[in-house]
With several copies, the nearest count.
Chain A
Amino acid sequence: MNEKIEKLINDKGLRLDGRKPEELRPIKIEVGVLSNADGSAYIQQGKNKILAAVYGPKELHPKHLALPDRTVLRCRYHMAPFSVQERKSPAPSRREIELSKVIREALEPSLFLEYYPRTAIDIFIEVLQADGGTRCASITAASLALADAGIPMRDLVAACAAGKVDDTIVVDLMDAEDKKGTADVPVALMPNFNAITLLQMDGDLTMKEFEKAFNMALEGCRKIYTLQKEALKAKYLNVKEVEE
């Protein structure tokens, strides 16, 4: 309850969970995990457990919301009531509504939305357990779910945060670091285009510190991008095996 974490970085420069500042948490990604969705992915990043599903392109009701020249991309980021320490009401919070927006805008640049005029694509993200950095892990998973659904895309979007804890710039903050740390910079990247599609920040950083954190987050994105591609390949190979 009111446990006090004295130090987030120990004398050896290691973090609470033993990581080095530039080290990501263990990440497990799986693509195509839900049978009903057109595309889906599951990610474990540290204790984060997140499912993303994509439905569409599909018809849009009511019709006057449809766009004549592109698909309408919709996104819902949602946390399970049991995903956090104190039970969360299932009604969408202001935080969830904001994150749904920035996640959608992080994925939009990667898609050819003009291919499917008058339709909608729905992205549903469910956080089953939250442990810091859920918006980034959600983007990472949702981009794979879009790929799994066969939505044409320019590049995958990989996301990762960096921040400052105890005056040290570290990557991929876990919950305790997020809460007790002094800054958090979540970033999403389309690596092949060097394109930042999400960038938020809260905290207190000098220009230099920001630049360091920003670059560390970008490096994290690139590592995660590799894992994304492996997860896609794993599914593709499995499918081929099944088909043969």
Chain B
Amino acid sequence: MSSIIVRVKQKQISQLVSKGKRLDGRGLTDYREIKIEQGVVEKAEGSARVLLGKTEVMAGVKLEIGQPFSDTPNEGVLTVNAELVPLASPTFEPGPPDENSIELARVVDRGIRESKAIELEKLCIEPGKKVFVVFVDIYVLNHDGNLIDASALAATAALLNTKMFNYEIEDGEVKIKPGFSPLPIRKHPVAITFAKINNTLIVDPWLEEEQTMDARLTITVDDEGKICAMQKGGSGYFTPKQVLEAAKIAKEKAEEIRKKLNW
């Protein structure tokens, strides 16, 4: 798209928002349609594919046996990684993770970690020595805006889909036993992302809204309506009033989404 068309479209988006409307017909706090498919990668211990409108994100979970961190010897380890693979967008380039994919991974990670979504203390095999390491790999397949919320949904859906092999300890060695158990999950954090356009807040911005927005604010809310993570992004700012308003809306939207997904 030429930059003139882009600017015209941005103006249009901006003007509509000031009238409480959006280019795709949504209300200001409406999400695009959410479709979740779990178990899409049989070779992974857990997996899910999320469609948020045309944004498409996959998450895969792999479990490995590794060492705990020295300050949490009785807990499993969570590692979240995100790849903005170049087939998802003309703006993504091959190469090591850049600041955008690192931020994405870390915001999703904080939502899961701070809400204590995984019962990490149940993933200890031998205190201080052997624990399960949970690798959550987020794979963005099509970027049409709001990667954070889609990725957070994919991560949680993949964790809910994850099976751990049964095992027993024999002479200090892990022996695999038949059967699987679900990964112990106690919370379902939901990330709600706002864009500020024309000094107005909207939720779940799609790509062209992201190109128009001044700033971005993500608020992750747990099952009890508590905030467990926030992240402001973009080169603009929010007023304190807008932040508190966003927090209120986030709580409502998260509950709404959790209800819709039966989480």
**Contact residues of A with B, CB < 8 Å?**
1-2, 34-37, 40, 47, 49, 51-53, 55, 58, 76, 78, 80-87, 90-91, 94-95, 97-98, 100-102, 105, 108-109, 122, 124-126, 128-131, 185, 190, 193-207, 210-211, 214-215, 218
- Count of chain B residues with a beta carbon within 8 Å of a chain A beta carbon: 69
- Answer whether residue B110 sits at the interface, using C-beta atoms and an 8 A cutoff: yes
Q: Which chain B residue shows the least CB distance to A195?
A: B237
Known: A80-B137, A126-B85, A129-B43. A105 touches B233 (CB 8 A): yes
Known: A37-B87, A122-B86. A98 touches B103 (CB 8 A): yes
B240 lies within 8 A of A218 (CB): yes
Residues in A whose Cβ lies below 8 Å from that of B238: 195-196, 199
B96 lies within 8 A of A91 (CB): yes
A97 lies within 8 A of B230 (CB): no
9 pairs of A and B residues whose beta carbons are closest in the complex: A82-B60, A53-B87, A201-B230, A195-B237, A124-B87, A108-B235, A82-B44, A87-B62, A199-B232
Cα–Cα distance between A94 and B74 once the two chains are bound (Å): 25
Residues in B whose Cβ lies below 8 Å from that of A197: 232, 237
Residues in B whose Cβ lies below 8 Å from that of A95: 106
Known: A101-B99, A194-B239, A199-B217. A36 touches B143 (CB 8 A): yes
Residues in A whose Cβ lies below 8 Å from that of B182: none
Q: Other CB < 8 Å A-B pairs besides A82-B60, A105-B232, 9 of them?
A: A82-B135, A86-B62, A94-B106, A105-B235, A199-B238, A201-B227, A204-B228, A214-B240, A214-B244
- Answer whether residue B36 sits at the interface, using C-beta atoms and an 8 A cutoff: no
- Answer whether residue B20 sits at the interface, using C-beta atoms and an 8 A cutoff: no
Residues in B whose Cβ lies below 8 Å from that of A124: 85-87, 94
Which residues of B from 120 to 165 have beta carbons under 8 Å from A? 135, 137, 139, 141-144
A82 lies within 8 A of B62 (CB): yes
Residues in B whose Cβ lies below 8 Å from that of A105: 232-235
A199 lies within 8 A of B141 (CB): no
B139 lies within 8 A of A203 (CB): no
